[in-house]
Amino acid sequence: MNTPRERLSILVTGATGYIGGRLARLLLAEGHKVRAMARDSRRLTALEKAGAECVTGDVLDAPSLTIPLDGIDVAYYFVHSMGAGRNFEERDRQAARNFAEACRTAGVERIVYLGGLGREGPSLSKHLASRHETGQILRQGGVPVTELRAAIIVGAGSASFEIVRDLANRLRVMVCPRWVSSRCEPIAVHHVISYLAGVLSEPRSIGQVLEIGGGEVLTYEEMLRQCAEVLGKKIFVIRVPVLTPRLSSYWLNLITSVPMSVARPLVEGLRNDVVTNDQRIHDWIPLDRVTFRESAALALTEESAGPLSSRWTSAVIRTADPQDKDRSVLRDERIRSTQASPEAVFKVVQRIGGTTGWYYGDGLWRLRGMMDRMFGGVGLRRGRRDPDEIQLGDAVDFWRVDDFVPGRLLRLRAEMKVPGAAVLEFEVEPREGGGSKLSQRAFFVPNTSWGRVYWDVMRPLHGFVFRGMADGIIRTAESLSNA
């Protein structure tokens, strides 16, 4: 096995995700050769600039793993299907089998996996049980595995922390189910990253399942109260026995920035106590203890400092892909010409969504976001990573940046609840004789006959909003050009 000071060739899967992106940067800073993998390597531009080799690979497509794993010493596995639907467990099983076999074939020396805390047994939530099962499947592949298990990760951009933050920030009186009395050992995100990197130089961690925590055991009610105090607020908690996990997740979906698809598995896990019993890693990789209050304060400070390097919204919701050649594609296209330069027009396009809004009918967009939240969708609360800059894979309200060519093209794929697959595209081109042309296109592929009915019913409203949006973009660009 590799010596502690050896420069390793490391694969980081899920490199666009909350943990993967942060770890990749630390490993690069420590001098390792890092290969970052995502289903679309174009989304890894920031890591490529930082010095990582970026490759495309999908753990559900076994042949696609051959190139990413070639020459790799250690592979980090940060892939899970939370939020992907009812059959997430089978997807997780297949993904882990594919990855374990591909690592064995490629001669990878070690897999490092981040799972979840929780005692084995029939009361363990489906989500936590699936995380444990993933570790078991990886170990069955023949490559030594180091599995770290954590509870709530506290940090700016963490989905579980944002739930606590939003509840503490938005509610003064909180009606909560019994799970607020469950015990949890939260851990700061920088400690998680330090442990994940630290096991590389700790040979005793090879082949082990290790539990990591911050050392402070709290109930969820205590975390809510402490977070509120950090925010300078006070909350009153009323416990009731009738809120089921489904009702609780609906409630969180409406109150917090986290959608139903993410809230549901998190809530189901809240009924389990998640506390460390194994302290070995604290002896092997000693770190200063950080309280939840300190971690929460640090996270809130980082949030207020500007765009985050990674956030839970980086996770892409798998959707169908509208193909232009498919005869079932429904369209709305708006063409506008202007004397404003292509640079000015695209600058306006690039700022769409978030605090900027949609240049027309923002009240209708907010109404659509509220409806999406009511049906368990992501709504508009995700906002944008940055109000001005944009990159491939960014979340833009209930859209995802699916393609981005600076100065020319922005394509957004819908992640809202909709009976089909939807794309909104903006293309800016120079016009002969000066000025520019904006082509704004909406594509929709219905997944059932009801999808076609949805499009036909919404067509008048879509026409009203899309027409106004195209005009608003041009109007704003011309205003900026004349300023």
Q: How far apart are CA 52 and CA 31, in angstroms?
A: 11
Label residue 28 by pLDDT band (50, 70, 90): very high
Residue 51 C-beta-side C-alpha neighbours within 13 Å: 13
Of residues 188 and 5, which shows the higher confidence score? 188
Q: How far apart are CA 414 and CA 366, in angstroms?
A: 15
At residue 345, the pLDDT reads: 96
**Tokens of residue 385, six digits:** 């990573």
Helices (H) then strands (E): counts for the chain = 15, 19
Q: With respect to CATH, is domain 1-143 assigned 3.40.50.1110?
A: no
Quickly list H helices, 238-340: 245-255, 260-270, 280-284, 292-305
Q: How far apart are CA 337 and CA 433, in angstroms?
A: 12
Segment 19-27 shows an average pLDDT of 94
Segment 456-473 shows an average pLDDT of 93
Q: How far apart are CA 236 and CA 167, in angstroms?
A: 11
Q: How far apart are CA 297 and CA 302, in angstroms?
A: 9
* 102-106, 138-142, 304-308: segment of lowest average pLDDT: 304-308
Residue 121 backbone dihedrals phi, psi, to 5 degrees: 150, 170
Q: Are strands 145-150 and 183-184 parallel, antiparallel or unpaired?
A: unpaired
Q: State yes or no: pLDDT of 104 exceeds 60.
A: yes
Label residue 325 by pLDDT band (50, 70, 90): very low
Label residue 315 by pLDDT band (50, 70, 90): low
**Tokens of residue 278, six digits:** 């194994």
Q: State yes or no: pLDDT of 251 exceeds 90.
A: no
Q: Of 430, 271, 424, whose CA–CA distance to 334 is shortest? A: 424
At residue 86, the pLDDT reads: 62
Q: Where are the domains of the chain?
A: 1-143, 325-482
Q: Of 199, 121, 115, 204, whose CA–CA distance to 153 is shortest? A: 115
Segment 253-276 shows an average pLDDT of 74
At residue 245, the pLDDT reads: 61
Segment 386-401 shows an average pLDDT of 88
* 269-278, 303-312, 369-378: segment of lowest average pLDDT: 303-312
pLDDT digits (tens, 9 = 90+) for 326-369: 447 888 999 999 999 999 999 999 999 999 999 999 999 999 98
At residue 403, the pLDDT reads: 86
Q: How far apart are CA 259 and CA 394, in angstroms?
A: 16
Most confident by average pLDDT, 48-57, 166-175, 413-422: 48-57
Of residues 391 and 65, which shows the higher confidence score? 65
Residue 467 C-beta-side C-alpha neighbours within 13 Å: 6
Segment 75-103 shows an average pLDDT of 85
At residue 450, the pLDDT reads: 83
**Cβ(320)–Cβ(420) under 8 Å?**
yes
Label residue 3 by pLDDT band (50, 70, 90): very low
Q: State yes or no: pLDDT of 320 exceeds 50.
A: no
How far apart, in Å, are the Cα atoms of 134 and each of 113, 172, 228, 317, 436?
9, 39, 35, 20, 52
Q: How far apart are CA 68 and CA 262, in angstroms?
A: 28
At residue 171, the pLDDT reads: 79
At residue 176, the pLDDT reads: 74
Segment 97-110 shows an average pLDDT of 97
What stretch of H or E contains 135? helix 126-139
At residue 57, the pLDDT reads: 95
At residue 39, the pLDDT reads: 87
Q: State yes or no: pLDDT of 406 exceeds 80.
A: yes
Q: Of 332, 331, 336, 339, whose CA–CA distance to 472 is shortest? A: 336
pLDDT digits (tens, 9 = 90+) for 418-459: 888 899 999 999 998 899 999 999 999 888 788 888 888 988
3-state helix, strand, coil in the chain (%, to 5): 45, 20, 35
CATH number, span 325-482: 3.30.530.20
Q: How far apart are CA 371 and CA 438, in angstroms?
A: 30
Q: State yes or no: pLDDT of 305 exceeds 90.
A: no
Q: Are strands 183-184 and 218-219 parallel, antiparallel or unpaired?
A: antiparallel
Q: Of 57, 59, 33, whose CA–CA distance to 47 is shortest? A: 33
Q: How far apart are CA 68 and CA 75, in angstroms?
A: 10
Q: How far apart are CA 132 and CA 128, in angstroms?
A: 6
At residue 2, the pLDDT reads: 45
**What burial class does residue 46 get, using C-beta atoms within 10 Å of its C-beta: 0-12 exposed, 13-18 middle, 19+ buried?**
buried
Q: Of 408, 380, 375, 410, whose CA–CA distance to 392 is shortest? A: 410
At residue 243, the pLDDT reads: 57
Segment 182-194 shows an average pLDDT of 94
Say how far residue 124 (Cα) sits from the centre of its chain.
24
pLDDT digits (tens, 9 = 90+) for 148-186: 999 999 998 888 888 888 888 887 887 777 767 889 999
At residue 139, the pLDDT reads: 96
At residue 327, the pLDDT reads: 47
Segment 4-12 shows an average pLDDT of 82
